[in-house]
Amino acid sequence: MSTCPGSPQNLDEVDVFAPETIENWYPTYDLLREEAPIYHVPGTKTYFLTRYEDIYHVLRKTDLFRRGAGTSRPLLSDPEALTTFKEGWPKRTVLGSNPPDHRRYRDMVDHFFSVIGAEKQTDLITRIVNDLIDNWIDDGEVEYVKSFAEPLPSMVITIMMGFPLEDLENLKLWSEAWVAPFSLQLTAEEERVAATRMVEFQHYIHDHIQQRRKSPGDDVVSYLVQNPVKLHSETRMLTDVEIINMIDHLYIGGNETTTFALTSGMWLLIQNPSVQAELRTSPEKARSFVEEVLRLESPTQGMDRHAAEDTEIAGVAIPKGSHIHIRYAAANRDERQFTCPVDIDIDRKNSHRHLAFSLGETHCPGAGLTRLEQTIAVQTLLKRIENFSFSPGKNNFQHHLNFTLRSFTDLHFTFDKIKV
C-alpha cells in the first residue's frame, strides 16, 4: 500500500495540498476522476472537480457558479502583508469579473489579445524568437527557461504594454510576486515580500497611466486610457483602479503561463523524436502540437468558483457559498473526452477542446497571443536546431511548488545547429 501523498491508492491517502501531490498531480487526478469526481476536501468547504463533463457544466453556468463570492482558502493571510495593500490600489479582478460586465471589459483588450489582434504581433514575436536563439545557438547547449522561455513572452508583453525593456528585471520580480501566492506555500515573510512587490507594480502601472494620458502611444496602456468602456449600465472612461487591475492581469497572464507552456513543450519535444520529425516535415502542424502541450501539461492547473445558491453537481449536494475548485488539467486527461489521454497526438481531432484556457465568457483573454508565441517558437526552433537531448546530470525535472500553476524550474538540453 502506498503511503506517499503523490501516489494515493485510495481516497484516505489523498492530500491535495501535499508537496508530493503538487509535484505530480496526475496520479491523484486519476484516482479522483474514478472514485470521487466531486471530491469534498476534508475539513473545508472546498469541492475538487476532476471530470471534464462536470467542469464544463460549472464553467457554462456562470449565474450559478460565480467568481468572487463565498469562502475559500486565502492566497495571503499574514496581517502585515494584507496591510501593505493599503499603500496601493484596491485589487479587483476586472478581467475576471462575472457576466455581463466581463464581456464589456474583454472587448477593451481583444483589440490586442484576440486571435486577430495577436496576429499583429507576428513580426515582433518572430524577431524576438530569432534574437534569443542567436544568443546561444553556437553553444550547443542551453538552459532553456532563463535563455528562452522566460524572456520571449516577457519581452513581447512588455513592448505591447509600452513599458521600457530596461525595466524587465523589476517587471520579472513583480510578475513572480503576483503568481507566488498561488502556491499556497508562502511563509509570512514571503507573503510580505510578495505584497510589497505587488504594490510596487501597481505604482509603476499608475505612473505609466499618467504618462499615457499626457502623451499616448500605440500600446495597450494608451488604448485603455483613451477609449471608453461600454458597460451594462453605462458608457464611461475606465478608472485608474480598473486600468491598474487590467494591466497587472494582462501582464502576468501574458508572460508567466506562456513561459510554463513553452518549457513543457520543449520537454515533450525532446521525449518524442517522432513528433519532432513530423513537425519538421509538416510545420503547419505546430499549432496542433501546441494544443496537445496545453492539454497534457496545462500551465494553469485549475481555478476557483463559488456556489451562488444551494445546488448539486453530478448528484452531489453543493451548499451555497461552497468553494468549487475546477481542475482543468484533470479534465484535459479525462478518457471520457480524450482517447488515450496521456499520449501526445498531433493528429488528435479534438485537442482544441481542452480547458487549459477555461471556456465561454471566462475564456483566457491572452489565449490568442500565447498560442501564436508558442507556435512561432516551435516552428523557428525546429528550423534552426536539431538532435535535442537532455543535458546529462543537469536536470532534476522538478516543478515549482505551486498549487495552481505548473512549470519546471529549469530545463537543460544539448542540440546541433542546423547549417543553412
Q: What is the tens place of the pLDDT at every residue in 149-177?
A: 999 999 999 999 999 999 999 999 999 99
CB atoms within 10 A of CB 205: 23
| CA–CA gap between residue 344 and residue 390 (Å, rounded) | 19
285-342 pLDDT tens trace: 999 999 999 999 999 999 999 999 999 999 999 999 999 999 999 999 999 999 999 9
Average pLDDT over residues 88-103: 72
Q: Assign 1 a pLDDT band (cuts: 50, 70, 90).
A: very low
Average pLDDT over residues 364-380: 95
* 1-66+301-355 topology per CATH: 3.30.43
What is the pLDDT, as a whole number, of residue 96? 58
Q: Assign 4 a pLDDT band (cuts: 50, 70, 90).
A: low
CB atoms within 10 A of CB 252: 19
**Strand blocks (E) in 151-284:** 228-230, 235-237
Q: Is 206 exposed, middle or buried (0-12, 13-18, 19+ CB in 10 A)?
A: middle
Q: Which amino acid does the sequence have at 20?
A: E
CA angle 405, 409, 415 (to 5 degrees): 125
DSSP letters spanning 397-412: -PBP--SSB--BS--E
Which residue did the predictor score with more confidence, 330 or 363? 330
Residue 267: partners with Cβ closer than 8 Å, 6 or more residues away: 297, 397, 408, 411
Q: Assign 99 a pLDDT band (cuts: 50, 70, 90).
A: low
13-46 pLDDT tens trace: 999 999 999 999 999 999 999 999 999 999 999 9
What is the pLDDT, as a whole number, of residue 67? 82
What is the pLDDT, as a whole number, of residue 108? 85
| CA–CA gap between residue 292 and residue 372 (Å, rounded) | 14
- CATH number among 3.40.50.150, 1.50.10.10, 1.10.287.130, 1.10.630.10, domain 68-296+362-385: 1.10.630.10
Domain residue extents for the chain: 1-66+301-355, 68-296+362-385
SS3 309: coil
Q: Does a cis peptide bond (omega within 30 degrees of 0) precede residue 181?
A: no
101-118 pLDDT tens trace: 667 888 888 889 888 989
Tell me the average pLDDT of the chain.
Answer: 93
In the predicted structure, residue 369 carries a pLDDT above the cut 90: yes
What is the pLDDT, as a whole number, of residue 94? 67
C-alpha grid cell, residue 164: 521600457
What is the pLDDT, as a whole number, of residue 75? 81
